[in-house]
Structure 1
Amino acid sequence: MSGAADSGAWTRVTDASAWTATGNGGAELITRRLGAAQIAALAEAVQATEALPPEEVTRAHFSAPELTQLMQAVQHDIVHGRGATLLSGISLQQFTEAEFTRIYVGLGQHLGTPAIQSPRGDKIGYVQHEPNPDNRGYLMDTELGPHTDFHEILSLATIQTAVSGGISGMTSSAAVFNAVLDERPDLLAVLTEGYYFPDGSDAEGGSGTTDYKVPIFSIVDRHVSLYNYVLFVFAAAQSRGEEVPPKLVEALRFLKQVCARPEFTISFEMQPGEMVFWHNFKVLHSRTGFQNSATQKRRLLRLWLNAHEHRPMAKGYLELARLMDHHHVRGKSLASYSTELLRDTYAALAG
């Protein structure tokens, strides 16, 4: 935690990653607007890749100097700075959805290699409301509170907004850590110890969980990261036939309350043509519920990226992403999102 001051056994984060929403101008804090030269470079790359499906687009196709410099700045923002960047200025009146998708994939690969996002085999995900027997949050229209997903770099790009709602939120993991340190330092021991996570091995004759605990807060080389995907904790406990430790449940409840405080979250409605990239373990993301109509339906593209430049993090943060990749290639899931699991998790966190 560079530039931080000691406070007992833990250290406050004081670098650029520990931002709050208060006084920072909302999404302006993380926005980069593309200029005319960058848009022109995108148009040239779009024309050059006209015959390619988006899945075959590479970083090299979108490597004009203007675009390389842009994405180098984005990478610095994500890895060494605030942890998130919103790119604005691309018009879907200039580019078709197919062209925009190629742009998105080409720019994203400056940051990492696209991962398969589900047993469907999709490297380009579609975040939209649709029938969803597996209870996946990105296919629902309900609110999603501040959380992390699984791969190191995440991204969304908007094609169409909802009639109402669907407001995105970004929350600094380091700022949340500072609040826990200030108000409930007694919870940090159990949060840095963590708990077992699902590893998908039950489908192959294994125990179904890791044989080591994955920290909720990772502190490695003075870097604070947060793995806030609470369903994994309760799914692992279910697989192990045990209860989540009461002190950890207490800590997760408090963590949920802190993450939900308005002063920690930048809220913004992504417009068509905008895309946002962020470090999954430095920045939590959220979304309000939304309403579609017959003619206007919220539709976003999504990338999960195995990063080119890694952040120092505890064991499990990257390993679980690799396990998920392993299972998705085989058309399987790392964990089941049963209605019972969802109900029990939400009930436990509500107290």
Structure 2
Amino acid sequence: MADVDAAIERQGMGWTRLGEPSGAWTSESGGGSEGLTRRLSPAQIDALDTAVRATEGRAATDVTADDFGAPELRALMAAARYDIMAGRGAVLLSGIDIGRYDLEQFKRLHFGLGTHLGMAAEQSPRHDRIGLVRKEPNPDRRGYLTDTELGPHTDYHEILSLACVVASEEGGVSGFVSAAAVYEALRRERPDLLDALLEGYHYPTSLETVTDYKVPTFSVVDGHVAIYNYVIYIAQAAQIRGEPVPPRLVEALRCLFAIAKRPEFMVSFMLQPGEIVFWHNFRVMHSRTSFRNSPGRERTLLRLWLHAHETFPMARGYHEIGRILDRQHGEGWSMLVNTDESLRAVYELVNGQG
């Protein structure tokens, strides 16, 4: 474990030897999707309904925590914050009857709850602080606008959320995997690969530039485990630098993906209309199976990216890349462009074949 200790020291952070990492869970030990679920009480549902009606006519992105500040809602979101930051890293809110709301009202409800956890970021050059997750024409090949499978990964901001408007007729099953549990499995099974993941690799800062430091795939700060697992950034940075991804990192990433896809590590659930899930992007990897729409029934979800009011301790780069994206989206462009070449590079990196 000497190489692992040295790699953690290179992150420049305190380290406590991990037995069972903080927040580590598997599907069985975490109670499956039920273990992530908080069912709203009648009083909480009434408070939400009152807040939605009181903000009628206002844009969703204009509502505040005070607008959704009834004691019942503050208590709900305080519990959700604990689940996200100190518990398993995710919480699913169930019991909202979406039939009571039109789309704009449900957007206000979703955004209003999110304001208790963080400040919403723009998700694209469209300046959308509430994203619509659905299949649509998609020249930049953004994953959330396709119907294809998305393997376990992270995105870019600390807290993420999805709220279901319409479920697909077939597929679209969500999955969560504990980053700390995957770390612990690697530490037991392949400790020789951890140093490469703790060292990480450069990340792009534009279509032509990369960080002058390496962003660790695994961050360990005072025993707190986080993960930045967005492999297309690693492939893109290597292309910009004109070099291959280091072979040891490639081997480590393939092992990480193999562990994350084990059924015993993943909590799978179908988000139902009216249900809302919040999770910590760097504590929990998320995935989605492919799905199929049918006429008159198109899978539609709302999405939030949030800069958390209360932050989890993490290595350099985890927050910084999100802020770089914020600036780009504010300027009307983005480095989140997936070409055929970049997608082939990622497939080869993860699977070992073209």
Q: TM-score range by the shorter chain?
A: over 0.9
Give 1:15 deviation, angstroms.
Answer: 5.5
State the Cα RMSD in Å: 1.6
Give, in whole Å, the separation in 1 of the partners of 2:130 and 2:282: 21
Q: Which amino acid aligns with 1:337?
A: N
- Structure 2 residue 312 is the aligned partner of structure 1 residue 311: yes
- Structure 2 residue 59 is the aligned partner of structure 1 residue 58: no
Give 1:47 deviation, angstroms.
Answer: 1.2
Preserved contact between residue 3 and residue 195 of structure 2 (Cα < 8 Å): no
**Residue of structure 2 equivalent to 1:348:** 349
**Residue of structure 2 equivalent to 1:264:** 265
TM-score by length of 2: 0.94
Q: How does 1:1-351 map to 2 (within 5 A)?
A: 9=5, 11-12=17-18, 14=20, 17-22=23-28, 24-200=30-206, 202=208, 208-351=209-352
SS class of match (1:93): helix
Pair 1:79–1:347, CA change in 2 (3 A): same
Gaps of 5+ in 1: 1-5, 203-207
TM-score by length of 1: 0.94
Comparing 51-60 with 227-236, which one deviates more in the overlay?
Answer: 51-60
Q: Which amino acid aligns with 1:178?
A: E
Give, in whole Å, the separation in 2 of the partners of 1:159 and 1:165: 15
Q: Which amino acid aligns with 1:59?
A: A
Give aligned pairs, total: 341
Q: Which amino acid aligns with 2:277?
A: V
Pair 1:291–1:201, CA change in 2 (3 A): closer
Q: Which amino acid aligns with 1:109?
A: T
Pair 1:242–1:18, CA change in 2 (3 A): same
* CA deviation vs aligned residue, 1:1-52 (integer Å, no higher than 9, x gap): xxxxx99848435256101002544210100000110011111111110020
SS class of match (1:346): helix
Gaps of 5+ in 2: 6-15
Preserved contact between residue 200 and residue 335 of structure 1 (Cα < 8 Å): no
Give, in whole Å, the separation in 1 of the partners of 2:176 and 2:257: 14
SS class of match (2:123): coil
**Residue of structure 2 equivalent to 1:205:** none
Give 1:96 deviation, angstroms.
Answer: 2.1
Give, in whole Å, the separation in 2 of the partners of 1:84 and 1:7: 32
**Residue of structure 2 equivalent to 1:3:** none
Give, in whole Å, the separation in 2 of the partners of 1:84 and 1:119: 28
* CA deviation vs aligned residue, 1:74-114 (integer Å, no higher than 9, x gap): 00110011100000000012222221110100000100000
Q: Which amino acid aligns with 1:90?
A: I
Preserved contact between residue 154 and residue 280 of structure 1 (Cα < 8 Å): yes
Q: Which amino acid aligns with 1:253?
A: R
Preserved contact between residue 210 and residue 237 of structure 2 (Cα < 8 Å): yes
Pair 1:107–1:345, CA change in 2 (3 A): same
Q: Which amino acid aligns with 2:110?
A: Y
Comparing 13-22 with 184-193, which one deviates more in the overlay?
Answer: 13-22
Q: Which amino acid aligns with 2:104?
A: A
Preserved contact between residue 115 and residue 123 of structure 1 (Cα < 8 Å): yes
SS class of match (1:47): helix
Percent identical: 54
Give, in whole Å, the separation in 2 of the partners of 1:320 and 1:8: 25
Q: Which amino acid aligns with 2:253?
A: L
Preserved contact between residue 130 and residue 302 of structure 2 (Cα < 8 Å): yes
